[in-house]
Each structure stands twice: as structure tokens, then as C-alpha cells.
Structure 1
Amino acid sequence: MGNDSALIDTLLRQLSTAFKIRDLGNPGFFLGIETLTIDSGLLLTQRRYMHDILQRAGMTDCKPLATPAAVTKAVTPSDEPYENPTQYRRLVGALQYLTITRPDLSYAVNRLCQFMHSPTVDHYGLLKRVLRYIKDTLDCGLRLSPSTSTTIHAFSDSDWAGCPIDRKSTSGYAVFLGSNLVSWLSWKQRTVARSSTEAEYKALTDVSAEVTWIVSLLREIGLHTGEPATLWCDNLGATYLCANPVFHARTKHIEIDFHFVRDRVAAGDFIVNFVSTKDQLADVFIKPLPAPRFSMLRDKLNIVSHHS
């Protein structure tokens, strides 16, 4: 992929002398992902795959919804086991593959994955809600467009003690290369955090490791500018911790590997800045959001409809 056709042709000729290759032209449909050319670049979409999932669930004519997860919780949660756990696992497994082009589904799908071993009727209800949201956004995909900048900036966030079952926090991050979203994650932290600062610091560590890997990859292919990556965090305590090694005795219990991020800041590889919660893009990866905010963040993550 590139904007110099002569260079691409030369590279293909050189590869063909060492390997048996066949040029299939412009990408169309690959591993279930469709590549559509739009005005501002490429759109990666899994429309056919989404139709297939809805068909498997028997929900092709379901009523669409604007968000994949409800902000309100059930008043009396049910512990009644779902009658067909295999069906639940198959559908959730299929949804995991869908998050390749749909970052907006990451939080909801990650939550569904936590109940694979013994899903209840309530969990199947959560799954059906995600499918109804997919029905509403069948034309959506991830946009990749030419960017004048190649700087890396990443947003990380955490929902402190958000899980009502074990009080573990949920981490989320989004990494941008220029204007394009290239990496994202929503997952439950392995240990319980004793403060919101600790939970946010763990999320910063996760995104630091990811950015370090992306930088090393860019260096390998000769595309790294050498500029430090910018990490955005909406917790002042965590941003201070990155800059000041003797900040608080209260943080001594944080495991040593979380100070990995502080070492990288000291080395000049990263700059950690504060961002207000309303501008925090990683918010969409850590908790259910009301429809207007969810839709606004989804647009900022470059998830667009190919009819818009």
C-alpha cells in the first residue's frame, strides 16, 4: 500500500524473483473484511459478517438500538442459567472478530466475554442488545485516511472498581498514528485498585506498552520520526506520578512494573498530558454511555457509515 505506483511495481518485481506471488490488484474482500474506497481514503467494513451473525442469532428483523450497552442496570438481576450456553459462546466469539473494524463494540463485547463459562438469561439479554445495535450500524466501518502527521498520541482511561462482582477496574485505550486509529483495547484489570489514581496508572501502563511496540514497529520499517509519543490521561494524580518519582508514600504498594511508564517519561520517549473527561476518547472503552456522547466519541474514533 502506498502512493508511489512505480515503487510498488518495483517492490512486487523484486519479491517475485524470490517468491511465487500473484498480484490480485486493489484489495476488495480479505478475511471477511471488505475494503471500500471512499472520498477521504479507505473504509474497512465487515458488513457481510454482521449480517451472518444476525442470521445465526435469528435476529435479522430485530428492532435497532443506538448504543450497544444500557446505562441503567436491572433492578433485580437474574441468576437463571441460559438454556443454550453453546449458542451464547458462539455468538460472543463471532463478535470478538467483529471488533477488528468496530472499536465501538469493544467494551460491550469484553463484558460479554467475562461470562462465557456460565451465561445467565440476563447475559443473553446483554448479547441481544449488542446485536440490536449492530442492526442499527450495519453500514459502519473503520476509516483510514491520508494524514499529514505521523505523530503518535494515545488516550487511556479507567473505570475505577466498575465491576460489581469483584470490584476490579476496566481499562481502555485508543492509539492514533496521525489522524488514524491504529490500536485500541477494553479489558478488565487483573488486580483490584485501591484508588482511582492507581486504576488510571495501570491503564497508562497498558497503553505505554502498546505505544512502545508501535514505535519499535515504525522504527523497523523506517517510518518513525523520533518525536516522543503523547499520552492523554484524565486523572491529575496519575499524570503527576509519571513526572515525580517521590510523589506519595501511598503509592508504594503499586507493583513495580507500573513504574515502567515513569521510566519512559524520564527517558523522553513519552509525554503524559492531562485531558478533561469530556475530551477523553477512551471513555467509550470503559463504561456504557448515553447515546449522544457515545455517538460523538464513535465519530472521533473514525467509525463512519459508507452511506454518509
Structure 2
Amino acid sequence: MPGHVCHLQRSLYGLKQSPRAWFKWLHDFLLSAGFTSSKTDVSLFYYSTGESRVFLLVYVDDIIMMGNDSKLIDTLLHRLSTAFKIRDLGTPGFFLGIEMVSAGDSVVLSQCRYMTDLIGRFGMVDCKLLSTPAAVTKSVIPSDELFDNPMQYRRIVGALQYLTITMPDLAYVVNRLCQFMHTPTTEHWGLVKRVLRYIKGTLDYGLRLTPSSSSRIHAFSDSDWAGCPIDWKSTSGFAVYLGSNLISWLSKKQHIVARSSIEAEYKALADVSAEVTWVVSLLRELGLYSSGPATLWCDNLGATYLCANPVFHARTKHMEIDYHFVRDKVASGEFVVNYVSTADQLADIFTKPLSAPRFATLHDKLNGGQRILRSSYGQCIWRLFVDDARPFHFCGRDGGAAYYK
């Protein structure tokens, strides 16, 4: 009848509010079950009682649970099964395209299957291997000859973005390729094929995570001043370590043109400072951070002095105010900024193409050079479960589960 509207009783797949309704339902139930919602990461929930801790991470309707008490995990899992149709898939071997493989007391995160599928999908199975993903002598510059299939370029570059989750050595080149999504040229397509040839030779590599008694955070930041030949903007890069484990990295073009190398390096310091602040906030919320100030390493003495020396203020009036976020952190004692030589700068791999020997050295230091080994998992207890309404497949090799969207 005119003037009447329909009142929706249940949320359905495909409606704009469905994801929000689903997450609110899950969020409210987890809170009622005793979980605490993280203020730093909205998709993370944690449960603490005495010495026992359980962490639950949500990705749409795929959920992974980790803790140090198997009985508590079983109890919480049973409580969840009373409200949701879920299935416990045990120790994860394959989750959201990422394979978790044991290597002694460590775990290697690998996307070998994803890389193999990517190479086969774009006809590069029989390609020759390369030792680096980007050429040192060749810059990405505009070309008059447009690539005849820009949709294919966008598909493959988009797929490469997901690969950087476990391949930090691809961060720089993928960032560069993403800057030409609208009008890719044949030159850009050649660079994409070079990346695939590099991936073909690194199928058995992954990101290694090792148990560590230290929760000390240290980070490396670097910048390639005016490295882009198109707009002369600089590229920032950083690598953040928790103990000996690489946990965060970035390669990103800066938004403004830096007038000096000090300004470019200081902007990179500001970027890594924001990331380290977020990491420290998350660890403190979870009760896992008890170390002293985080250490930031920079290979530019001018930028290092600028963090604590107000004498440089007259030379830096043109800088944006948020750059001095670093100085405030140093003054409060939360950060310590030290100088590191360019030869020891690990973030160099995120700012520019490198020669094969230099690239291989930094690749290994980023924990990216860990080859996959097969053995039993360590002591950490993992549980994996999903919405039973979605298709899944058990992988016999590792006993994990593979998910298909």
C-alpha cells in the first residue's frame, strides 16, 4: 500500500548492511562470552584469565584463534558453537592463501600455492628466472605506446599486492607498478613480467617467525630523495622488528616534493614513528609489551639531529607540522633515534632498485630468505574455524584447511 515500507527481519548476503549486521552480531556475542574488543584493531578480540590468554582474529566470516591453554580454547569454541554454525578445523596449514609451515621451533608463512597459481594463470610457467624484481639501470618513465590490455595489467598488479604479505622484498616494485594502473604502457607490462620471473625463482621462500623472549621494538627507515623521474617525489620505506621478527614494512611515495634529502628522510622517520606508535599501543593493550623505548635507525645524520636539536628549526620552517611528531616522541622518551650507515640500512630495499648482491643480502636480513621446511608444529596452540555455510576443503598434506571465496 502507498506510504508503507518493508521491515527487514534478517540480514541477507548481498545487502549493503549485511557485513555490518554480521560483525555486530559476532561482536556482541564475543563480549557477552567474556572477550574484550581491542581498541587498536577492531577485528581483534582477546580473553584473559589468570595466566591463560586466548586471541581471536576475525576476517569477514573466517576466524582464527590462538592461545596458550588448550582447555580454555575448547571451552570458548564450544560456547561459540552454541550461537554460530561453525566447524573446528584444528591446526591451520592454509588460511586465506597463506600457508603456515613448521621450521624447527619457528613458523614460516608462505604463499607458494598462491604464487604458483599466479604464474600459471598468466602463462609464465616456463619463463626464465631472475635474481631481482626490478632493474637497477631502468627507470619507470612514461611511454607513448599504451598496453593493449589494461584490465589484465590491473588484475595481475592487484594480485601482486596480496603477495607482499609474506614477500616484503616485492614492496617497492609493486608500489611502483600500482602508480600506473590507469594508463599502463608496454614498458610497464615488461616490468610486470620481470616481477613474475623473479617470483618463479622464489617459490620456496617465506617469512619466518621465531619465538623470542624479547619484546623490544626497533625499526629502520630510509628514503630515496627525488627518486621518481616523473614528479620528482621521494619514496619512503621502513621495516619494523619485534625482537628478531619482521612484523611491519612499507614502501610508499611521499605526497609532497622534498626540498632536501634531510626533509625526505625526516618524512620517512615520521611514517615509521606512526607505525611504531600503533604497534606499541597494540602490544600494551594485550599486555605483551614491557620493554623500554623503541629504537629507530636512520642513515641520514641531519635527520637524526633534527629529531632532538631545535637549532635546525630555522631551516625547516617549510616542513609540515606533523613531521615534528617524531621530535615529540623523542622528547618524551618513547623513541630513540640513532644513526646507521647506509651499508647496514635494511630499509634500503623499500626505496629503490638494487643490484643482485645487495638485494640478496637485504632479502635475507628481512627474514625473507627462509626456505620452507616440513616438520611438526611447535608448542603454540592454534584453532581454526569458519562459517559452515561456506565451502572448504581439507588439505591432506598438512592437515590444514584451504578456503575458496
Q: What's the TM-score bracket when you normalise by the shorter of the two chains?
A: over 0.9
Counterpart in the other structure of 2:372: 306
* 260-269 or 248-257, which deviates more: 248-257
Find the partner of 2:246 among 161, 176, 181: 181
Find the partner of 1:217 among 271, 282, 295: 282
Question: What percent of counterpart residues are identical?
Answer: 69
| Partner-residue secondary structure (3-state), 2:348 | helix
Evaluate the alpha carbon distance shift between residue 27 and residue 268 of structure 1 in structure 2; reply closer, same or farther with a 3 A threshold: same
Report the CA distance between 1:22 and its aligned residue: 4.0
Report the CA distance between 1:248 and its aligned residue: 4.0
Structure 1 CA distance, aligned partners of 2:353 and 2:247? 22
Is 1:109 paired with 2:109?
A: no
Report the CA distance between 1:77 and its aligned residue: 6.8
* Contact 2:219–2:239 (CA under 8 A) maintained in structure 1: yes
- Higher-Rg member (1/2): 2
Is 1:44 paired with 2:109?
A: yes
Within 5 Å, give how 1:190-205 maps onto structure 2: 190-205=255-270
Counterpart in the other structure of 2:336: 271
CA RMSD of aligned residues (A): 2.0
Within 5 Å, give how 1:1-308 maps onto structure 2: 7-14=69-76, 16-17=78-79, 20=84, 22-73=87-138, 78-303=143-368, 304-306=370-372
Higher helix share: 1
| Partner-residue secondary structure (3-state), 1:27 | coil
| Partner-residue secondary structure (3-state), 2:312 | coil
Structure 1 CA distance, aligned partners of 2:140 and 2:190? 14
* Contact 2:139–2:229 (CA under 8 A) maintained in structure 1: no
Evaluate the alpha carbon distance shift between residue 252 and residue 36 of structure 1 in structure 2; reply closer, same or farther with a 3 A threshold: same
Unaligned residue ranges in structure 1 (runs of 5+)? none
TM-score normalized by structure 2?
0.73
Structure 2 CA distance, aligned partners of 1:180 and 1:273? 20
Higher strand share: 2
| Partner-residue secondary structure (3-state), 2:109 | strand
Instruction: State the AA in 1 paired with 2:325.
Output: F
Unaligned residue ranges in structure 2 (runs of 5+)? 1-53, 56-65, 375-405
Render the CA deviation track for 1:222-245: whole Å, top value 9, x for unaligned: 001141100000000000000112
Structure 1 CA distance, aligned partners of 2:141 and 2:205? 34
Structure 1 CA distance, aligned partners of 2:221 and 2:359? 17
* 67-76 or 162-171, which deviates more: 67-76
> How many residue pairs end up in the alignment?
307
TM-score normalized by structure 1?
0.95
Greater relative CO (CA pairs within 8 A, separation 6+): 2
Structure 1 CA distance, aligned partners of 2:247 and 2:180? 28
